[in-house]
Amino acid sequence: MMKKWLFLILTVSLLSGCTRYNPEIKEERRPVETEENRAAALQMKVTFQFPFSPAEFLLARLDQTLSQRKDLIKVTDEAGTRFIARSPVKVRGIYVSAHVAGTPAFMEPIISQIDKTELNAVVIDFKTDEGYIASQVDSPAFQEIHACRDYIPDMTSLMETLKAHDIYTIARVVAFKDPYLAEQKPEWSLKRRDGSIYRDKKGLAWVNPYKTEVWDYLIEAGAQAAAAGFDEVQFDYIRFATDSTMREVVFDEADTRGRSKTDVVTEFTEYAYKKLAPLGIFVSADVFGAIIGSEADASAVGQIYGEMSRHMDYICPMIYPSHYGDGNFGLDHPDLHPYETILGALTKSAEELNAYESGEIRAAVRPWLQDFTASYLKHYQKYGDEELREQIQAVYDAGYEEWILWNAANHYHYGGLLDESDTEAGGAVPALQE
């Protein structure tokens, strides 16, 4: 490695020492001097003149190459420009609630299953659906409103244990669905026309995505997760509420400044990435699966799949079969067809992202898969090992390599996963039953 850098430095030095680099026509090759020929020669010199030195040219090419690497993040500040190393992992993960993660009696069996199977990652609540920070952190932003809880009493010990088992750690940070912050800081909440706090059908208040103060509060949560040792921050609920009661909400033009819902959500993803990636962590976002290929759904929640993918390391569509209505992907009841539903959703994902120019999309696609039974549906089936494996196979058949499993109670069907010896040996996926 050192030899390569020495070669590069030597090359730059030699080229920098050249007194003539810009192409010019030699005197003896010029035709007889005429005013017309002189004008033509001047035009040629202008056309071929480079606006930078050879050293600058090589450094610019090097910068371009490094900037395209996912394992490096470019940081430019008052100290100058530098690249920070990051270690990407092809994630095969599960969601773990803060309460379970903070209780050794619950977490130890999960770690044991991760050790035995193809799993290699966990998504842990750091900022919960209720708006609480899952552990005590030294941050005035959270201490001011007493937002910290002891769901994970010893975050340091938990992170050390996970790292000792070579488990990739993702901090889930719930964004604009934050009833606690909305109640504590009503000036940051969604409001009705009469000035009262808006609450959805479940009685939960939401914060206003147009408020930059809310953005900075969320960035602080991400920064604290990075300081705690997480490898990645994953934002959930980067969207507006979807209840029909949202028509009661009014927005101040001083906040919106003519921006649509999709404008402000995309701006937040870009802002969050620029603030958090320089900390050496990866940044991801959860999105509704229904927004893929649906302009109406995208506008309603504020999520444009491709635009958000331009500003994140990972985009995580929630493509649970139970979340699609009858008829989607040509299926009578998608929940009854886990393989076909996942394949259809990810095929649409590829189509939408392929519409962008090469290099425009930063994010890798890492879908959420269903490991729960949607008994609330009229047409549903019990999900178990086979249904789980079908979804994972669909991910691979669609050309993607990463996935995360969701079960709110953290009860997973480990029998549908490859065991560690299979993955190490490059074993094939178990055959699906007809």
- Who contacts 155 (Cβ-Cβ below 8 Å, separation ≥6)? 134, 135, 228, 229
Nearest to 313 by CA among 144, 147, 168: 168
Return the bridge partners of 117, or none: 419
Torsion, CA 369, CA 373, CA 376, CA 380, rounded to 10: 90
Using CA atoms, how far apart are residues 148 and 138, in angstroms rounded to an integer?
A: 10
Helix (H, G, I), strand (E, B) or coil at 13: helix
Helix (H, G, I), strand (E, B) or coil at 414: helix
Amino acid at the residue 229: G
| Sign (positive or negative) of CA dihedral 434, 345, 408, 283 | positive
Helix (H, G, I), strand (E, B) or coil at 53: coil
Contact 207, 182 (CB under 8 A): yes
Within 257-404, residue ranges assigned H as helices are 261-276, 295-301, 305-309, 338-354, 385-397
Please give the structure tokens belonging to residue 2: 């050192």
Contact 122, 407 (CB under 8 A): no
Supply the pLDDT for residue 51: 56
- Who contacts 54 (Cβ-Cβ below 8 Å, separation ≥6)? 12, 15, 16, 18, 21
Supply the pLDDT for residue 422: 66
Chain centroid to Cα 250, Å, comes to 29
Q: pLDDT by residue for the chain (434 residues), tens digit each?
A: 544 444 444 344 434 443 333 333 334 444 555 666 665 555 554 444 455 666 655 665 655 565 556 677 776 666 677 777 788 999 999 999 999 999 999 999 999 999 999 999 999 999 999 999 999 999 999 999 999 999 999 999 999 999 999 999 999 999 999 999 999 999 999 999 999 999 999 999 999 999 999 999 999 999 999 999 999 999 999 999 999 999 999 999 999 999 999 999 999 999 999 999 999 999 999 999 999 988 888 999 999 999 999 999 999 999 999 999 999 999 999 999 999 999 999 999 999 999 999 889 999 999 999 999 999 999 999 999 999 999 999 999 999 999 999 999 999 999 999 997 665 433 444 444 33
Number of Cα atoms under 13 Å in the Cβ half of residue 273: 21
Please give the structure tokens belonging to residue 167: 């488990």
Question: Which residues in 101-112 are b (16+ Cβ under 10 Å) and which e?
Answer: bbeeeebeebbe
- Who contacts 424 (Cβ-Cβ below 8 Å, separation ≥6)? none
CA distances 281 to 121, 224, 423, Å, are 15, 12, 26
Fold of 90-424: TIM Barrel (3.20.20)
Contact 361, 308 (CB under 8 A): no
If you ran DSSP here, which 8-state letter would residue 198 be given? P
Supply the pLDDT for residue 85: 77
Nearest to 96 by CA among 146, 158, 176: 158
Other C-beta atoms lying within 10 Å of the C-beta of residue 266: 21
Using CA atoms, how far apart are residues 347 and 397, in angstroms rounded to an integer?
A: 10
Return the bridge partners of 405, or none: 94, 369
- Who contacts 80 (Cβ-Cβ below 8 Å, separation ≥6)? none
Q: Are strands 80-85 and 72-77 parallel, antiparallel or unpaired?
A: antiparallel
Residue with tokens 């193809």: 118
Using CA atoms, how far apart are residues 402 and 396, in angstroms rounded to an integer?
A: 8
Supply the pLDDT for residue 358: 86
Supply the pLDDT for residue 147: 98
Using CA atoms, how far apart are residues 74 and 87, in angstroms rounded to an integer?
A: 14
Spell out the domain ranges in the chain: 2-67, 90-424
CA distances 411 to 96, 107, 110, 185, 268, Å, are 9, 12, 9, 35, 33
